[in-house]
Structure 1
Amino acid sequence: MLSYLIRQSRQLLTAAALASIVSGTCSVFLLVQVNTALTANATERADLAWIFAAVAVGTMVARMIAAVLFERLSQHAHAELRSYISARVVATDYRKLEALGGARVQSALSEHSARVADFFVSVPSIIINGIVVLGCLVYMAWLSWQVFCAAVVVIGLGSLGYHLAHLRAIGHLDTAAREQDKLFDYFRSLVDGAKELRLNRAKREVFAGQVLGRSIETVRRERTLGMSIFVVSASWGNFLVYGFIGLVLFVLVGDVPDRARVMTGFALMFLYMITPLENLLLNVPRINLARVSARRIESIANDLPLSLPSTVMTPPAPLRSLVLDGVRHSYYHEVHDDIFSLGPIRLDFAPGQITFLVGGNGSGKTTLAKLLAGLYVPEDGRILVNGENIDDAGRDRYRQHFSAIFADFHLFDSLLDGAGADLDARANALLAKLHLQHKVQVKEGAFSTRALSQGQRKRLALVVAYLENRPFLIFDEWAADQDPVFKDVFYREVLPELRAMGKAVLVISHDDRYFPLADRLVRMENGQVISVETHAAPQMREAATLEPDLA
């Protein structure tokens, strides 16, 4: 993942790296000028002043350019990663996305992508400080190669200690990254499970203390251990630096030519090296964190295989017939702790037909609806539209026949489909029909609010389904959250209107009072269709259902 991002920004990264190298080189040259000025006479210092000023300005300009370019790189990398992950989520198979879970995706989009972006922020510091340390070593070698050898030994010991610490620390950081994925899921439960937590004190205390609290503590502990090891190893390196300065001042430098310049040079260089060396060592964990996060993103991306075509498709042909021919599907059933098998199912659907799908909980109704809508891929059998078999290449085009409101539906804050000059007017007319005009309005294609009850939100979802104007609509227990008035409106007004518009409609329902209003009633049990009841003409059904009310 890091290699991919680097390749995407090769030119900008090269320019930023060159600016960092110039800045680091100028910093070392400034230090050389300082050491030279300490032992120079008045005439030499006058000439050195102009050189010093020019190099100082060059250092400032180069560092500013490097910082700006790397900040652009960081933001570009962050946006590139988010776009990449989002594209994989949008294009992956729905069943795969269900299995992966939203917590890992959220973690990749937020924390892991931010960590990888931080890598580019740390690069200029690493390059500049690395150049400073390297330049100081070169200058010390020029001053005295004997003392330089001792300096190399000291730096080698510090680097070895840091490397050993790195191996230990990276394991803690990797553990923290894995726990972070679980923690995001727990954070979501804080909101999604708010009612349950407030109704049950024992459950709330266990969740807060043992589940959420333990996960937070694990992330804190592992990250603290990992970063603390890096800090301790950096402190060990600094101790070696001060120890070496003491050796230079009191032991290593004997009676040599230019003794004052050599001693001040080594002391000055090592003192100057402390901050760059510390910054260099402390920025290395950012790279390690970025590597860990990049691996997590790669792992998530590998679990999100692309299944949707990236090319622009032609609109689907008008729906004349739809047949499920012996389709099967299976999945793990948590309640029974075994594999639940759906099918083989043989059903046909036609425009202007209202089908009620009924059965007990766990009988496979919602799974069949997702299979029908193309969200699940049949493991066996065929789906035929207008007599044409739907294969993997045409599955996304097939899905464009459907609008669906499932029990776990999501309501976007704007109307992403059905754009037109009269969109707001048509949407607001539908809102008035569903008695929502005083709660919410559509302005410029967006809802003024979504802070509504579940039943009201479902009515908003119904408005969206109307405006999408798809030939096949699926309602999964839509009326379950409606009061009796709107439940009656749905069954006696909305469904007949959709039939008159020539829509094929599948309604998953437990409202047996309204069963006679369907063109047919499909009963399911244990993943099998056990009966299909065809009802009388619409006018006869409506008269039959109205008589008890009039009585």
Structure 2
Amino acid sequence: MSLLLYLIRNSRGTLLIALVMSIVGGLGNAALVALINQALSASRDGLARLGVEFLAICLVVLVTRTLSQTMFMQLGQRAKATLRMRTIRRIGEASFADLEKQGSARPLGVLTQDLDSVVVFFVNLPVLATQGAVIVGCLAYLGYLSWPILLCAIATIALGIAGSHLISAKALFHLRSSRKREDELVKDFRALFDGAKELKLHKARKQAFIDDIIAPNVEAVRVQRSRGYVLNSAAASWGNMILFVFIGCTLFILARLFPVSPAVMSGYAMTFLYMIMPIEGLLSAIPTVSMARVALERIEQVNADLPEEKMHPATHASGFDTIALEGATHRYFREKENEVFTLGPINLTFKPGELVYLIGGNGSGKTTLAKMLVGLYPPESGRILLNGAPVDEAHREIYRQHFSVVFSDFFLFDSLLGMRVNGLDAKARTLLEELQLDHKVNISDGTFSTTQLSQGQRKRLALLVAYLEDRPFYLFDEWAADQDPVFKDVFYKHLLPQLKAKGKTVFVITHDDRFFHLADRYIKLDYGQVVATGKGSDLVADTHQENARPQMSA
């Protein structure tokens, strides 16, 4: 696997030393068995020499096992941190459209449970290496005692491994399936919290969600995970049984076929009995290896599904003369209507220092247009022009830096990340007072004291953040929808004109027809198409004329 090779390359020296330590410890264990077998028939003088050797090897085993386990634990945590940051950076560098398509459940599972599976694998590596070395050392000792019986032992072990592999392959299938189902569970668990209000207010909905949606998935995960572990246990039991069968064959059949001394036969029996534990240790590690394999596959798949955007090295955008959408379109599937919605083709131009309102009914594509305008959705046909030059993939990142946006479904971070402005806290406190948030929120070193506010207050805090970004183009998506009349007046009559006076382009998605006359220009969208544009004052006049027409009686 490429990810496993990536981890090995990044920790080659430490991994090699840890493996050598584990192998030395395992061979030391096998040497202890050989010394014990020799001691059973040794003379009094020989026992003293063997005792000194036994003590020395015990110390070597203790030191090497302790060091190898420590190093492998550190490797496991380093691998987890490396893969976690690699995936986080990939998420950060992926396109917004790919992030929406991917969803959050699978990446969250990868960043938590799957990475823990990789750590468990690394923690078990010293067991695998040590026990493997014990088995190799024991086999070498068995070959020293009698090579014909050794060949029979190798054939027996090969048979045990083949059977275990076949059973483990079926176990891996169930483990993979259970991890896929857990992605659905993550979404359901999040819904338990995100939809808590709705569930509390509707008992039948709560019971249906828990009993009909969550419970079947929980049970399916339990069944498949249990099958996987049971099959892995069966694989270990198969290997264990094969070893006992070989011991019986050695004592009762091979002893008749090959002329060996009773000491050799007892050595074989004792060595094989000692090998049972290491082999069981190897077989019991199969589930951790299987889960690590599934985890690495999932991590690779998430990274593959989130290709990196090509980025221009610049990180700061200067002002602009014009931003234009030229025949730009975007399509997406609407599940509720069971149809593909097409936005565009859109032909619009924006200049500095103008205030533009976007109006239209729900579902007309206003937010989708906003996301395409700010560069979150690349046009599927047509193009976006910045100062007359097409915005290609390599320059889309720097293009996006022209915008400060507060979407209707905005996310509010608890600190002013990425802002390096002299007197930032003082500017933020002034805005907190103007937005009447200073009694709720304080700021220190660019960090808010709290974001646990009402939706209207959170929007005001998001507006503060956007204002401090001081970018050339501002976009507000239904910002005033959750505000009281006082703050609506502040927003439309003071904040927006202030931004315009600074030479900013201000683009407002709104339904507040009381303030339409304040717009320099309006754009009306209906089912993905621009159906009207004009001056805000003209729109108000048309509205008044429409309201003044005599109404027909029923």
* Native 8 Å contact 1:354 1:520 kept in 2: yes
Gaps of 5+ in 1: 545-551
* Native 8 Å contact 1:358 1:509 kept in 2: yes
* Native 8 Å contact 2:239 2:283 kept in 1: no
Aligned mates of 2:392, 2:236 — CA distance in 1: 59
The equivalent residue for 1:129 is 131
* Native 8 Å contact 2:171 2:228 kept in 1: yes
Q: TM-score by structure 2 length?
A: 0.92
Structure 1 window deviating more from structure 2 (36-45 vs 520-529): it is 36-45
The equivalent residue for 1:341 is 342
Alpha-carbon deviation of 1:259? 4.1
Tell me the amino acid that sits aligned with residue 87 of structure 1.
Answer: R
Q: Are residues 1:367 and 2:364 paired?
A: no
Aligned mates of 1:434, 1:518 — CA distance in 2: 22
The equivalent residue for 1:164 is 166
Tell me the amino acid that sits aligned with residue 175 of structure 2.
Answer: L
Alpha-carbon deviation of 1:226? 0.7
Q: Are residues 1:453 and 2:454 paired?
A: yes
The equivalent residue for 1:429 is 430
Aligned mates of 2:482, 2:29 — CA distance in 1: 69
Alpha-carbon deviation of 1:137? 1.7
The equivalent residue for 2:328 is 327
* Native 8 Å contact 2:326 2:385 kept in 1: yes
Alpha-carbon deviation of 1:250? 5.4
Alpha-carbon deviation of 1:257? 8.8
Aligned mates of 2:154, 2:84 — CA distance in 1: 43
Aligned mates of 1:220, 1:509 — CA distance in 2: 49
- Cα deviation code 1:128-171 (max 9, x no counterpart): 10111121122122223344344334323322321221121111
The alignment-based identity, stated in percent, is 46
Aligned mates of 1:254, 1:344 — CA distance in 2: 89
The equivalent residue for 2:146 is 144
* Native 8 Å contact 2:518 2:537 kept in 1: no
The equivalent residue for 1:548 is none
Aligned mates of 1:379, 1:528 — CA distance in 2: 15
Change (3 A) 1:381 1:164: closer
* Native 8 Å contact 1:92 1:308 kept in 2: no
Tell me the amino acid that sits aligned with residue 157 of structure 1.
Answer: L
- Cα deviation code 1:420-467 (max 9, x no counterpart): 341122112211211111222111111111222222211111111011
Alpha-carbon deviation of 1:524? 0.7
Aligned mates of 1:308, 1:448 — CA distance in 2: 36
Alpha-carbon deviation of 1:249? 4.8
SS at match of 1:203: helix
SS at match of 1:19: helix
The equivalent residue for 2:274 is 272
* Native 8 Å contact 1:2 1:116 kept in 2: no
Tell me the amino acid that sits aligned with residue 226 of structure 1.
Answer: G
Aligned mates of 1:442, 1:39 — CA distance in 2: 81
Backbone CA RMSD of aligned residues = 2.3
The equivalent residue for 2:81 is 79
Alpha-carbon deviation of 1:175? 0.8
Structure 1 window deviating more from structure 2 (110-119 vs 469-478): it is 110-119
- Cα deviation code 1:321-353 (max 9, x no counterpart): 222222121111223222211112122212221
Structure 1 window deviating more from structure 2 (90-99 vs 158-167): it is 158-167
Q: How many residues align?
A: 539
Change (3 A) 1:314 1:209: closer
Tell me the amino acid that sits aligned with residue 115 of structure 1.
Answer: S
SS at match of 1:531: strand
Alpha-carbon deviation of 1:360? 0.6
- Cα deviation code 1:93-146 (max 9, x no counterpart): 111111111111111211222223332222221111011112112212222334
- Cα deviation code 1:23-54 (max 9, x no counterpart): 11111112211221222122111111221111
Tell me the amino acid that sits aligned with residue 112 of structure 2.
Answer: S
Q: Are residues 1:108 and 2:110 paired?
A: yes
Tell me the amino acid that sits aligned with residue 443 of structure 2.
Answer: V
Tell me the amino acid that sits aligned with residue 342 of structure 1.
Answer: L
SS at match of 1:175: helix
The equivalent residue for 1:182 is 184
* Native 8 Å contact 2:76 2:122 kept in 1: yes
Alpha-carbon deviation of 1:3? 2.1
* Native 8 Å contact 1:93 1:308 kept in 2: no
SS at match of 1:39: coil
The equivalent residue for 2:226 is 224
Aligned mates of 2:456, 2:261 — CA distance in 1: 87
SS at match of 2:532: strand
* Native 8 Å contact 1:419 1:445 kept in 2: no
Tell me the amino acid that sits aligned with residue 290 of structure 1.
Answer: A
Structure 1 window deviating more from structure 2 (151-160 vs 337-346): it is 151-160
Aligned positions of 1:32-431 closer than 5 A: 32-249=34-251, 252-253=254-255, 259-309=261-311, 312-313=313-314, 315-431=316-432
Alpha-carbon deviation of 1:529? 1.0
- Cα deviation code 1:491-541 (max 9, x no counterpart): 22211221222211111111111222222221110111111121359xx99
Tell me the amino acid that sits aligned with residue 517 of structure 1.
Answer: L
* Native 8 Å contact 1:327 1:345 kept in 2: yes
SS at match of 2:54: helix
Aligned positions of 1:496-515 closer than 5 A: 496-515=497-516
* Native 8 Å contact 2:375 2:400 kept in 1: yes
Alpha-carbon deviation of 1:260? 4.9
Aligned mates of 1:23, 1:81 — CA distance in 2: 29
* Native 8 Å contact 1:37 1:48 kept in 2: yes
Alpha-carbon deviation of 1:312? 3.2
* Native 8 Å contact 2:441 2:450 kept in 1: yes
Tell me the amino acid that sits aligned with residue 518 of structure 1.
Answer: A
The equivalent residue for 2:548 is none
* Native 8 Å contact 1:417 1:468 kept in 2: no
Alpha-carbon deviation of 1:251? 5.5
Alpha-carbon deviation of 1:314? 5.4
Aligned mates of 2:434, 2:243 — CA distance in 1: 79
Q: TM-score by structure 1 length?
A: 0.93
Aligned mates of 2:158, 2:276 — CA distance in 1: 15
* Native 8 Å contact 1:414 1:445 kept in 2: yes
Q: Are residues 1:525 and 2:494 paired?
A: no
- Cα deviation code 1:59-99 (max 9, x no counterpart): 11111221122112211211111111111111111111111
Tell me the amino acid that sits aligned with residue 510 of structure 1.
Answer: H
- Cα deviation code 1:285-339 (max 9, x no counterpart): 2222212121112222111111142x63153231222222221211112232222
The equivalent residue for 1:20 is 22
Aligned mates of 1:535, 1:291 — CA distance in 2: 61
Aligned mates of 2:62, 2:418 — CA distance in 1: 52
